[in-house]
Amino acid sequence: MSGLRTENLSVQFGAVKPVDGVSVEIAAGKLTSIIGPNGAGKTSFFNLLTGLYLPTRGKVYFDGNDVTDMPVHQKVRCGLTRTFQILNVFDALTVEENIRVAVQRRHGRSRKLFCAADVHGPVEDEVAEITERIRLPDKRKVRACDLSHGHRRHLEIGLSLATRPKTLLLDEPMSGLGMYESSIMGEFVRELAQSLTVVLVEHHMSVVLSISDTILVLSQGRLLASGTPAEIQANPAVQEAYLGSGRYDLPQERAAHA
Ligand SMILES: Nc1ncnc2c1ncn2[C@@H]1O[C@H](COP(=O)(O)OP(=O)(O)OP(=O)(O)O)[C@@H](O)[C@H]1O
């Protein structure tokens, strides 16, 4: 399992600074969540970690190595993989076909979707293992378009697992899910963090507070606070940032637990 570190990480687009001088340690083998009001810079920070954005200033280290300028596909090969807010699965394919495509892509055989030699080989073992891991073994023959939204999110994470990540960055996996599906997703993400380093961007505060080891709070592109869920909940600056933004998630959670 591998950790991430940023040093004075910044990106600027014209006059806008979505991320401004963020230095953080993301511990290996832990579940770290990044929260903050709308427009705080969470997705931009994510994009800097994964290589979708190149920083204007600062550094990103993965496994102790400087990966600041490494392109996305090379980072994935090193074990740093992300999911996107927008679902990224093939609708017409079944769960196991989707995973097979992703596994075969890693093996450099993406054009041989139904290659006979793979049917009982290591690719198929891996497809079965990932299907189990994402909790969809009974849905393996179901086409992606017939899955519930929550199950599609599990499948999307399965596609990321097919890259064999050491660190998995999840961009709002609970987006569009109801309370029940979100709590199931939360349990699933927590389970993933037993074998991977997980970095989570998520608005669903009750789940974030219940599953995270560490929470980083961004506000206006800067690191406002970091700490355990209890420390973050008790932090007046964090409450102020949420109140000031017009989003009341954090204070509501506090009220709910009062
Ligand atoms: N490529 C870009 N060009 C110009 N401005 C950008 C770009 N990417 C992000 N921004 C701006 O940077 C700020 C932070 O955006 P970002 O999407 O990172 O925030 P966020 O915390 O993920 O927000 P949300 O919670 O609403 O998804 C916003 O004002 C956004 O408009």
Q: How far apart are the C-alpha atoms of 137 and 122, rounded to whole Å?
A: 17
Please name the residue whose Cα sits nearest to atom 10 of ligand 1. Answer: 18
Please name the residue whose Cα sits nearest to atom 31 of ligand 1. Answer: 39
Per the CB < 8 A criterion, the answer to whether 27 and 2 are in contact is: no
Please name the residue whose Cα sits nearest to atom 3 of ligand 1. Answer: 13
Domains parsed from the chain with CATH numbers? 1-79+166-258 (3.40.50.300), 88-164 (no CATH)
Prediction pTM value: 0.87
Q: Pick the atom of ligand 1 nearest to 218's CA.
A: 21
Report the side by side order of strands in the sheet with 65-66: 16-26, 4-13, 57-62, 65-66
Burial zone of 256 (CB within 10 Å; 0-12 exposed, 13-18 middle, 19+ buried)? exposed
List the pLDDT tens digit at each of the 258 positions of the chain.
568 999 999 999 999 999 999 999 999 999 999 999 889 999 999 999 988 899 999 999 999 999 999 988 888 889 999 886 555 789 999 999 999 988 988 877 655 555 555 555 788 899 999 999 999 999 999 999 999 999 999 999 999 999 899 999 998 999 889 889 999 999 999 999 999 999 999 988 889 999 999 999 999 999 999 999 999 999 999 988 876 554 445 444 433 433
| Confidence (pLDDT) at 72 | 86
**What are the angstrom distances between the C-alpha of 162 and each of 14, 105, 121, 211?**
37, 9, 15, 24
| 3-class secondary-structure state, position 116 | helix
Of residues 51, 43, 56, 67, the one with CA closest to residue 170: 43
